[in-house]
Structure 1
Amino acid sequence: MRQLIRDTARRYPEGITIALVILVSLAFAIITQGGWVSTGNLQSLSQVTAVLAIMAFGEALVIGTGQIDISVGSVSGIAALTFLGFAPVAGSAMALLAAVLAGVLIGALNGFFVAILGLSSLLVTLGTLFLFQGIGYAVTSGFSFTATDTVRQEFIYNAVGGGGIAGINAAAIWALVVLIAVQLLVFETPIGNRILAVGGDSGSSFSRGVNVIGIKFGVFILSGMLAALSGILDAAFIGYADGSFGATMELSAIAAAVLGGCHLTGGRISFIGTLFGAFMLRGIQSFLIILAVQPQWYVLVVGFIVVLASVADRALMRFALRR
């Protein structure tokens, strides 16, 4: 039995998160007397989970190579401001391209410093976090960018967050598309094998001919792009963005990836687990809102979960590798 548990933990580290999500969901439903599983709350939960999951998928790619990107929150904020700022004058389509390009460029900037110059990903992305967060505050000057009525009627705007299909919001559909794309990339292509190999042992990967620099550079670009998409979807849904948009989202994205079974040391990625991790975090936030708990407590809870998940990740790895 112990060996079976070890094998399961080694192959499916996200299994614990999925089981926790089921148990926690049942507990929340009982405590709130069904309020947590009401139609309105579940629709809201699907929106915020999808937005976080898309960002966390990009974070999972970076973590998979043994790096970390804590600039994703500010990237989503810059993308949201770019999208809503350009949409009234250039149209939603051009605004979408500009916002995604902004995310790609920031990701490339991170990748340049980390992959090419060999600097610490923690320090580099901490720097870009503050840099672009500061730019967001400077551009808005305490005000917010709002989607005009004309912009809200455009097809592209509705396709990226303002609408939905058959009662399913656009963000959830995008999250599913991104999930399928990254799942295929990592587990069905040679690039995915190289991403995991770099995270497992970059030195050994380099000696086997893997372009370690290119892989690390690429995952930072993908992380920036997905963080930008996350910000666009969120901004299109709520219709406005200010300088604080995306603040602390990076903490939730990292927590979702780690909760989902991604190893902080690299070499292991689970996008399904990351999705469940995002759902669990947003479910906790929704639960606290229903109980009328002050919102700042959510940040404290997420911080605690990150620490706990990190410890559990290390303990689980040691248990799984024991014979």
Structure 2
Amino acid sequence: MRTLSDMPSVALLAAGRPLHFELGVAYEIFGNPPVERRGPGQWYDVTLLGDTAVRVGPFLVEPERGLAHAAGADLVVVPACADVDEPPPVELVEAVRAAYEAGARVASLCTGAFVLGAAGLLDGRRATTHWAHAEELAARHPLAEVDADVLYTDNGRILTAAGKAAAVDLCLHIVHRDHGAAVANSVARRLVMPPHRPGGQAQFVSTPVQVTGEGDAPLADLLAWAGQRLDQPLTVVDLARRANTSTRHLGRRFRAVTGQTPLQWLLAQRVRRAQELLESTDESIESVARATGMGTATTLRRQFKRVAGVPPDSYRRAFRGTIHA
């Protein structure tokens, strides 16, 4: 069992003119453990760092420690900057660079990517930011591979998120990496969010992924119905029949609300369920395949690797070797 001193440390950097939404998102997710991680040393130790009091939106915030302490953190989070026309503060850039050189993971939210770029951490790496600022980020840091069409990027120790809601997605992705799919989904439920979206999903979704509007109630019911039947060989025809609509209309509604086709959504849910089973049970790959509607171990391995990037066997070994005690 971890002790409090062993808790992974998260440094939220407040310097310059950070935006309150992204800073608040990071604090809410990393600073409040779900019920599964409320024991001693099972979550993150979050500290707000900055050298002076800073204005964050309408609030005046007093950091707990100076930026120099970023070099001792396990994860450094750089929230969005209010003005990308101005170079980021030198002390902020130096703190981020020092933290990375000391071995920390560094994650930027929205226009916080400009700070990582100024620190030289985006050179030769894929990165993203809010679509409205992606062209400027690419122009200012030509050695970076800026992708304006994704929600977030993960280069291992360097992570970047697009604008606003994508900051939630990246933070949930980090929780997923550190604690697994079940815990990440628990955090998402507390936030009244769907399970975290994959980073490759496009920024341009015509309506939010959350299915909360009155007109979306039938689709919300359908998603819940399908989510409870992932062990069954569901097809688009099955979904359309359940929703009492045509397959063409169903496809348009899915893309508008989730940014995915019905089959893409189903596969994502099956893989997500497989991750939970691989993390929390000793079921064989064949059993996991049946429980997630993949049918055979061969199909599970092929689809799991395509979506998750690694075979299910490797995922299980890696997860159980790194999960926090």
Shorter-chain TM-score bucket reads: under 0.3
With normalisation by structure 2, the TM-score equals 0.25
More helix by share: 1
With normalisation by structure 1, the TM-score equals 0.25
Q: Which has the higher contact order (CA 8 A, sep 6+)?
A: 1
- Which has the larger Rg? 2
More strand by share: 2
